[in-house]
Amino acid sequence: IDGLEEAERESARPGTSQHQLGSAVDFGSITDDFAETEMGQWIYENAADYGWSLSFPKGYEDVTGYRWECWHFRYIGKTACEFQNKWFCGVQQYMLEFIDAWKKA
């Protein structure tokens, strides 16, 4: 048993999932090896052209609160993807936190 902390790295609490909001999709299989497949590579290279952003990138668990999910993409639109990639190293969470802080300022 991994406990609550581990469980929260794996799945969102009720009412907070990007899937439940209708803004996310899991492309392909929900296993780490998806990143190495032909389909996974194509999605990484082209998703932003269609407005899709990887929600939980590898190495950013401390930022996103979730472990890497190479299959989990959120639709944010092409313009937001361009903005995110230009100013936030392609990390969706950084962009979202910036926008939230900007709105509050």
Q: Output phi, psi for 74, to 5 deg.
A: -115, 140
Q: From the candidates 5, 8, 69, 82, which is the catalytic residue?
A: 69
Specify whether the CB–CB gap between 12 and 18 falls below 8 A.
yes
Give the residue from 72, 92, 98, 70 showing the smallest Cα distance to 80. 92
Q: Is 61 a catalytic residue?
A: no
Q: Output phi, psi for 66, to 5 deg.
A: -125, 150
Report residue 28 as tokens: 């392909």
- Residues taking part in catalysis: 69
